[in-house]
Every structure is written in C-alpha cells, then in structure tokens.
A and B are shown apart, each in its own frame.
Chain A
Amino acid sequence: MKKTTNNKQQTTKLTEEEVKHVAKLARLTLTPRAVKKFQKQLSEVLDYIEILKKVKTKGVGSTFQVTGLESVFREDKVAGPSLPQKEVLSGSKSIHNGMFKIKAIFE
C-alpha cells in the first residue's frame, strides 16, 4: 500500500462516491474524469474551510440576513396585471396545449 502521509496537501476529504452522490442530488451528470477532477478541487476548498474549526462559536447567534427586517408585509391586493399566457410561455421549448410540458414524476 502506498504511503500518503508525506503528501503535503491532504486531498482525500471527499471520496469519489461522495462526489457522485452530491452530483446526483444536484441533478448534474459527471464524466468519470470530471469526478476525479472535482474530487481534488472540492477537497482542497473543504480543507481550506477547516480553518473555521479554530473559531469558538459556543453561544454565538447565527446571521442569516443583515437587514434586520422582519415580517415584511404589503397590502393584501393584487399587485398589478399578470403576464399574458403567451409571454409566460415565450421562453419554453417544451409546451403542450398552452402549458409547460414537464417530465413524468411517476413512471
């Protein structure tokens, strides 16, 4: 077995299986070569992110947004005319009877 302890840069954070799994979750198709490339590149970024382990965050709140705005409401009435059907469909290559045609969800 090859020794890997001398490798300066640890790049084994993500396995190939994990890369494939994540790609599947995100509905991306990868060639075997791309899997190898992304495994290395994503692992490097994840290694870099490890630096956050040094920060003590016990009891620190989370910042999900910076505006401080909460429960933004508007008057309960129609904001304006909606787009006509023709315009709504104008960008689609997948139309049937004036509606978007999507892939089957159940076989």
Chain B
Amino acid sequence: MELHQLTIKEAQERLRTKKFSSLELVKSCLGRIKKLDSKINAFITVCEKEALEGAKKADKIISHQSSVISHQSLLGIPIAVKDIFCTKGIKTTAGSKVLEDYIPVYDSTVVKRLKDVGAIILGKTNMDAWAHGSSGENSDFGATRNPWDFEYVPGGSSSGSAAALAADMALLATGTDTGGSIRLPASFCSLVGLKPTYGRVSRYGIIAMASSLDSIGHFTKNIIDSAIILNITAGQDSYDATTPRTPVPDYTKNLKKGIKGLKIGIPKEYFIKGLNKEMEKKVKETIKKLEKLGARLVNISLPHTEYALAVYYIIQPSEVSSNLARYDGIRFGFSRDRFADEARRRIMLGTYALSAGYYEAYYLKAMQVRSLIKKDFDEAFQKVDVLMAPVSPTLPFKLGEKVNDPLQMYLSDIFTVTANLAGIPGLSIPIGFIPSASSGQALPVGIQILGPQFSEELLFQVGYAYEEKTQWYKRKPEL
C-alpha cells in the first residue's frame, strides 16, 4: 500500500512509530496531485513549498519529542481545504473570479483548529462558485472530474474536496453543506461525508452562502477518521454566536458499540417515483444488512418532504442575495461584474423573494413550511433513533448533462436539503457500486443516516457497524 492511500488513523500510528516521515507522506500526496490533477482539476491552489516546510517541521517535533503527538493529533498529516475556508496568506476564491486574487489576513476557526493540532495544508480545492451547485461545474476555474470515471461529475458543491480525497491526493478534505454539498459528492465519490448539526462546527471565516443553513463538515475515507476530525472541529466558538455550549464528546469512543435494538426509520417519502431502481435496491439491501446486525426497522412518514426543495429555493437564495451583497470590489476582490450565471440567478431570485410585496408570499411562507418540515423530523425521532434514506435520486451524472437546466440541477438536492432546513446532522456513507446504464462503468452509491440534533456520535455508530462488515472504502478507483 502506498502512503497516500492510508487513512488518518493509520498514518497517525505509523508517524508516531516512525515507520515513515511526514515529509515522505506529504511528498507522496503531492506526487499524486502532480500525476493526476491536470486531469481531475481538484485543486485551485497547491501550496507545495509551504507543505514541504510544514512536513519538515513536523518531523523535527516527532523526532525530538514524540510525546507532543498525543496533543497534536494531526501532526504531519496532509489535508486539503475547500476554497471557501479563509486561510491566512493562502488565496481563497470560493470558486469565483470575484475573489480571484483574495488573500485572507486571518484563518477560519476550523482551519485554525486543524493547524493547531499539526495538520499540513496541501492546497485549496475547487468548488462550485460560492458553493452554488451540485456538480462542480459552476466553478469559475473549470469543472472537476470524478476519479471513478472522468466523464462524470464528482458532485458538488464540494467537488474538488471529494475528488481529491477519492483520488488519494490528501488524507482529509474539508467541506461545507448548505443543501447537500458534502453528502452528495461523498456519495458520488465513495467517501464518508459528514454534515454536522447546524452550529456544531463554527462558521467563522468561511465565506457565507446561506447563513441559517450552512453546516461545516468534512470528507474522510472511513468512519473513524470522520470522528477523529469532528473531535477537533466541533465546539463553541466565541466568533460564531450560533455555536452552542453543548458538550463535545469523544466521538471515537463509542464507535464500536454496535446497533443492537437501535430503531432505524425508513421514510417512505424518500422512496419515490424517479428514484433510480438499482439504487433503491442497493439502499434497501443496506438497510436489511443493518437489520441483520440487530437494528429494528420502522416505517416512517415525513409528510412535508415534497415541499422541502421549494422551501430551500426561497430561503437559500434570499440569504445568498444578502450575503453576496457585500462583494463590492472595494475592500478586496473584484467588482460584481465578475459574478457568473449561477450566482446571478440566486442573487436575483433572493432579491425578488425579499422585495416589497413578495416577502410574505415567499420568504415568510417558506419559513412557516420550514417549521412543518422540522416538526416532521421531531416527531419521527420520538419513534426512531435514526433515519436512513438515499442521498440523491440518481447515480452520478455526466459532465454537461444538467448544466443548462438549473431546475434539473437543483432537483439533485431533493433528499439532502431537508436536513439543512431542520438543522439536523447527516452522515453519507458508501454502500457499493452500480454499473452505469450507458458505459457499464461502476459508479459509487451512498446512503445517508440522519439523526436528531447533536446525535453525531450515534450516526458514527451506525455507520461503523455497516462499514466494519463491508469496507467499501478499501476499493479504490483505477487511476
């Protein structure tokens, strides 16, 4: 096995026991980027020099005082950061030409926390501009390709993060999920993608999309790694007033507890006409497998699910129009002429929905239906511990397939926006592969596990129980 293929947990142990150095590990990932990124386009910026320097520093610390490693859990581990997280001294574009030359003078809280425990930033990953999109094709810096098949999209908006990790260019990639932007690409690229509870992870220093929905998470190769990272990123932050003081448990502690007696709800509204039949079969097989492992299955109804996407496409553009109003090209970045079509659509949609005479019909109505959607979940979680559902109605689609039809693109998020509206956590995990109808190429499929607010620990337990038996993460794309 090559070094870049390791999980975080494996790399931690081997760095500690000096099986290899951080420099070797970082070089292995940089080599991977050099070999593949001209085809995949996962990175907007690669910080080779800084990463190599960071690795040398880490190696010095490891050789002199190995006790530090236990406090610096990611010491010497190379990571990729979505280009929407502000990174001090490293260009941060949000995938948009408006911010083509923007170099932040501060770190986002998540980046600071990752750096504080010794992580090494390899670079900043490509994304749909301003996180607007489900395919990565809305990037102003070119589309990213899916490492499992270059003809297909990796999913978006965290397209580069997902592709970078699936191609083993890093050991961790950060992401943001406002309507599915972590869970969808995770399922399209056979990765573990966590959208934490709203407020669990600080939004400070992350370029805002829709502030009442933005959730800050990450992609990892497996469940343990996801828990390791949440241990670092979760928790109250005085720079983000929406982060509550809810205690942060050790998310790795109870992973192996098993799921005996756990009640899993199957929401019927997620198994609708239009759901890919092969995928439906796979999702149902997965749920059956969990039943065999001791879980109890319960049929559930979330009656307002069909309205969620419409609610989302009022609330989200409204908040987008407000957040993007600050980009005036005066203090940093370029003028508003540089906004590309998708950002313009959302700014205009939001401006329209919030304008005089329409506010009540659109925004207020959407906020009321949002209450009903949240209530559906609250009631469901009285009866079951978690819910399991498909992440998306279709397999990964081809580049260009939906790019000229915004509404079709929006429909990719029909099963993911609900969790953002309710503020609950969702974990997308790989459940296997299905040959595509056109080429026969095996394409990844995922499932999402949803739980009540702050139930991440439970989601990891369920994910781990399945992963332990299947280990899909060991299968790699041929590159």
Contact = CB atoms under 8 A, between A and B. Distances in A.
Interface of A: 14, 18-19, 22-23, 25-30, 34, 38, 41-42, 44-46, 48-52, 54-55, 57, 60-67, 69, 72, 74, 79, 83, 87-88, 90-94, 100-102
B349 A42 contact: yes
Interface in B280-323: 304, 306-307, 309-311, 313-314, 321
9 contacts: A25-B355, A34-B344, A38-B344, A45-B345, A51-B306, A52-B365, A91-B331, A91-B333, A93-B329
Contact of B345 (A42, A60, A66): A42
Contact of B307 (A26, A55, A87): A55
A14 B367 contact: no
A104 B349 CA distance: 28
B455 interface: no
A63 B348 contact: no
A50 B366 CA distance: 11
B369 A55 contact: yes
B352 A22 contact: yes
Given A41-B406, A90-B103, A26 B362 contact: no
Nearest to A72: B241
A103 to B, nearest CB: 8
Nearest to A86: B105
A83 B106 contact: yes
A19 B331 CA distance: 28
Contacts of A69: 199, 241-242, 244
B310 A63 contact: no
Contacts of A42: 345, 348-349, 352
Contacts of B310: 48-52
The residue in A38, A49, A72, A90 that gathers the most chain B C-beta atoms within 10 A of its C-beta is A49
B313 A63 contact: no
Given A22-B352, A42-B352, A45-B410, A67 B198 contact: yes
Contacts of A34: 341, 344
Given A41-B406, A66-B423, A60 B348 contact: no
Given A42-B345, A52-B311, 6 more contacts: A14-B352, A38-B345, A51-B307, A57-B365, A67-B244, A92-B330
A62 B360 CA distance: 11
A44 B330 contact: no
A45 B313 contact: yes
A94 B332 CA distance: 9
Contacts of A101: 330
Contact of A67 (B242, B337, B351, B364): B242
A78 to B, nearest CB: 12
A57 B367 CA distance: 10
A62 B321 contact: no
Contacts of A72: 241-242
Contacts of A14: 352
B397 interface: no
B4 interface: no
Contact of B369 (A23, A57, A74, A102): A57
A48 B313 contact: yes
A72 B325 CA distance: 25
B163 to A, nearest CB: 27
B244 to A, nearest CB: 6
B238 A79 contact: yes
B325 to A, nearest CB: 7
Contacts of B369: 52, 55, 57, 60
A76 to B, nearest CB: 13
